[in-house]
Amino acid sequence: MRVRPELRHLLAAAFGLLVGSFASACGTDAVGIDACREIESARCEATQACGATEAEATYCIDLYRDQCLHGFQSGKEPGADATARCVEAVRAVAACARAGAASMADCAAEPLVAAADPAAITPCVVLTRKPEQLADCAFVAKAADTGTTTLSMNDAGDASDTGDAAME
């Protein structure tokens, strides 16, 4: 059976449009990929202070290397200084967790955002679920968000997670 040239060209054009639409869907306008990776690596390493194993922390880092390709949902590039302050804040909170701080009130060296109650949040919750509660990491959240992690990676995992890998 022979296809008419016009139909063959039409099918080729339709295929080209289809491929083109998929290729454009693969593009990214992600903001802060490298900053995201630095912060998430620090968070993943810090989860060991909350009971995660070294293997779980490594899995977490590997996972977020790809997840950070989405960048920050805030859409703002934090810059090297802000990223470094956030990473240092994460490490300081991990030190508080290792020292047995029952709440962020016992970790006064790392201030929280004004809306956060230091007595009501533990260092491990900050590390694993709510890094935007740290004043130095508040930029990871959208301005209108309140209380939810809005990094492209919503959960660095914690020791209470179940399954083969505690990092989600």
For residue range 99-148, list pLDDT tens digits in order.
Answer: 999 999 999 889 999 999 999 999 999 999 999 999 999 998 876 544 44
Is residue 78 in a domain?
Answer: yes
Structural domain includes residue 11: no
Fill in the DSSP letter of residue 40.
H
Q: How far apart are CA 163 and CA 168, in angstroms?
A: 10
Is residue 16 situated within a structural domain? no
Tokens 């006064």 locate to 108
Instruction: Decide if 148 is inside a domain.
Output: no
| In-domain check, residue 135 | yes
For residue 58, give both structure tokens: 């490594």
Q: Which domain holds residue 109?
A: 33-140
Q: What's the token pair of residue 31?
A: 């903001």
| pTM (2 d.p.) | 0.70
Cβ-count burial of 22 within 10 angstroms (0-12 exposed, 13-18 middle, 19+ buried)? Answer: exposed
84 located within any domain? yes
79 inside domain: yes
Domain total in the chain: 1
